[in-house]
């Protein structure tokens, strides 16, 4: 069988991956201390940053905790859900595309 050499010209266009915000939502049951702990342990915020975000959640019903690639955002939201469930809190984390 003869061998054919083909030269393929493929133009690859690299694009930045879409980024997603992870938001925590306010509720009437999750303690403020637990939210601060979540922000420090899962989102790697300093204590001062965590308190500031926790107050935003409390006052505005939700706040952005970080902006990540889709897979990381999804993982962090799942970690929040698992930790909240273990501690019997209804804390909700959602992700939405960053504009």
Q: What does pLDDT average to in each consecutive run of 10 residues of the chain (99 residues)?
A: 63 84 97 98 98 98 98 98 98 96
Domain of residue 80 covers 19-97
Residue 79 included in any domain? yes
Residue 47 lies in a domain: yes
Q: How many independent structural domains does the chain possess? A: 1
For residue 12, is it within any domain? no
Mapped onto helix, strand or coil, the DSSP state of residue 91 is coil
Q: Against a cut of 0.95, is the pTM above it?
A: no
Residue among 71, 94, 83 at smallest CA distance from 38: 83
Residue 6 in domain: no
Closest CA to 45 of 24, 18, 60, 16: 24
CATH classification of the domain holding 84: 3.30.1390.10
Instruction: Supply the pLDDT for residue 1.
Output: 60
Q: Decide: 94 and 25 in contact? Cβ < 8 Å.
A: yes
On whether residue 3 sits in a domain, the answer given is: no
């Amino acid at each position: 069988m003869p061998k054919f050499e083909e030269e393929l010209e493929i133009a690859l266009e690299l694009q930045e991956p879409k980024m997603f915000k992870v938001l925590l939502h306010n509720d009437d049951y999750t303690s403020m201390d637990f939210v601060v702990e979540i922000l420090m342990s899962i989102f790697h915020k300093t204590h001062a940053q965590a308190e500031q975000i926790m107050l935003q959640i409390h006052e505005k019903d939700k706040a952005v905790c970080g902006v990540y690639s889709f897979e990381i955002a999804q993982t962090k939201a799942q970690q929040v859900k698992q930790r909240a469930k273990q501690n019997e809190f209804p804390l909700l984390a959602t992700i939405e595309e960053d504009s």
